[in-house]
Amino acid sequence: MAKSSCYRWQMTAPGEPMVKTAFTPEPTNAGQVRVRIAGCGVCHTDLGYYFDGVRTTHPLPLTLGHEVSGRVEAAGAGAEQWLGQAVVVVAAIPCGDCDLCRRSKATICRRQTFIGCDAHGGFATHITVPTHALCAVDEDKLRAAGLTLPDVAVVADAVTSPYQAVFQSGLGAGDLAIVNGVGGVGGYCAQIARAFGAEVVAIDVDAAKLELIARHGASLTLNARETDTRAQKKAIAAFAEQRGLRQTEWYVFECSGTAAGQENAFGLMVHGSTLGVVGYTMDKVSVRLSNLMALHARALGNWGCPPENYPAALELVLSGRINLADFVQHHPLDQINEVFHEAHARRLSRRAILVP
């Protein structure tokens, strides 16, 4: 493939304008494919690398971006069946054959490749990945859902990470789910919890985000600018009583990725609670860990989502149980520098998807 037809935007140093660079794609070896990228979502993690100096494993210059959808346009030996297939690319690609992977612990595979950190990512025209990093997209269902291939780029992290958090928590019908922070990942977390059969309480500091999620699964919304943790807990208890839900064993999903949000989420636990930490921040928080003991509660994290759980998460989108269209917005990839600054300043109301 001609170098001039392929390009990627590279971060050369934190905070410095990213640079558009032509490149020649890697060859597709046995078991690999080359994907022409349809869209790549801008994640909070990308902003951390770019603005906050979070270290990447791959030395700079580096192409960021780990929420990728596209179409397979070249395949190595043994991967020919993927040619022409629409796909979502797994964000954290496990090696597939180590002890951890064989024991269904792919999210902590020590040889995994997190694209946009360990290797060049998706803010580009093409990416080469192994076939076990692919999730096939049914384009008939995609069209029926009123979505386009770039839309489902966010499935690669913004949907699958909260899906994994909800899935591993054991949440089910009749449970109470509290989602702390409903912008970005949290908006999908609330919808996923609802799809799993829970009654959902949404908490945020942004009234517009609360209004949106109230139309997509949240039965109660609380503004953290207007209510402190104690008042929130009291309101949630009253809501639970009104709906005939348990006053124990609440599921709290922290998706704000802020220190204040994490402390708030920790304070909302009751006896038997499960705290799922989904959002990420470099900031430290002050909590009393003994509460986990006293409440017989548990705290769970999850680094992404194993490839085998991607199809189920994608199916929630294609079946309409998760709304994407109202939560994403396309931007030309060539506007990457402007979009990053808008996202960092929290001036974007929807998750940005950059389209080559």
| Residues 329, 215 within the same domain | no
Q: For 172-229, what is each residue's pLDDT tens digit?
A: 999 999 999 998 899 999 999 999 999 999 999 999 999 999 999 999 999 999 999 9
Q: pTM for this structure?
A: 0.95
Domain end position, chosen among 301, 325, 345: 301
Over residues 120-147, the pLDDT tens digits come to 999 999 999 999 999 999 999 999 999 9
Which residue do the tokens 């989602």 mark? 179
Instruction: Give the pair of three-digit tokens for residue 190.
Output: 């609330």
Percent of the chain whose predicted confidence (pLDDT) is above 70: 99
- The number of distinct structural domains making up the chain is 2
Let me know: does 33 contact 131? Beta carbons within 8 Å: yes
Shared-domain flag, residues 65 and 207: no
Q: How far apart are CA 57 and CA 226, in angstroms?
A: 41
- Helix/strand/coil (H, E, C) string of the chain? CCHHHCEEEEECCCCCCCEEEECCCCCCCCCEEEEEEEEEECCHHHHHHHHCCCCCCCCCCECCCCEEEEEEEEECCCCHHHCCCEEEECCEECCCCCHHHHCCCHHHCCCCEEECCCECCCCECEEEEEHHHEEECCHHHHHHCCCCHHHHHHHHCCCHHHHHHHHHHCCCCCCEEEEECCCCHHHHHHHHHHHCCCEEEEEECCHHHHHHHHCCCEEEEEECCCCCHHHHHHHHHHHHHHHCCCCCCCEEEECCCCHHHHHHHHHCCCCCCEEEECCCCCCCCCCCCHHHHHCCCEEEECCCCCHHHHHHHHHHHHCCCCCCCCCEEEEEHHHHHHHHHHHHCCCCCCEEEEEC
Q: What is the pLDDT of residues 81-127, one digit of tens each?
A: 999 999 999 999 999 999 999 999 999 999 999 999 999 999 999 99
Residue where one domain finishes, among candidates 301, 325, 341: 301
Domain finish residue from 301, 320, 344: 301
Helices 185-195/160-169 angle, 10° precision:
40
Band the pLDDT of 13: cuts 50, 70, 90: very high
In this structure, is the dihedral angle defined by the CA atoms of residues 319, 323, 326 and 332, taken in order, positive or negative? negative
For residues 13-32, average pLDDT: 96
CATH number of 143's domain: 3.90.180.10
65 within 8 A of 98, measured Cβ to Cβ: no
Query: Do residues 296 and 315 both lie within one domain?
Result: no
Query: Smallest Cα–Cα separation from 88: which of 70, 114, 115?
Result: 70
What's the rounded mean pLDDT across residues 295-302? 97
Residues 253 and 340 in one domain: no
| Cis peptide bond prior to 61, omega within 30° of 0 | yes
- 320, 192: one domain: no
Residues 296 and 325 in one domain: no
pLDDT confidence of residue 40: 98
Average pLDDT of 315-335? Answer: 96
Residue 2 pLDDT > 70: no
325 and 289 within one domain = no
- How far separated are the first and last CA of the chain, in Å rounded? 17
* Token couple for 124: 């580009």
| Claim to verify: residue 293 and residue 344 sit in the same structural domain | no
Q: Indicate whether 150 and 294 sit together in one domain.
A: no
Give the per-residue pLDDT at 4.
Answer: 60
Judge if 129 and 31 occupy the same domain. Answer: yes
Q: In angstroms, rounded to a whole number, what is the distance separating the alpha carbons of residues 75 and 130?
A: 10
The CATH number linked to 214 is 3.40.50.720
Q: Which domain holds residue 218?
A: 161-301
Same structural domain, 315 and 293: no
**314, pLDDT greater than 70:** yes
- Structure tokens belonging to residue 250: 């609440």
149 with 283, same domain: the answer is no
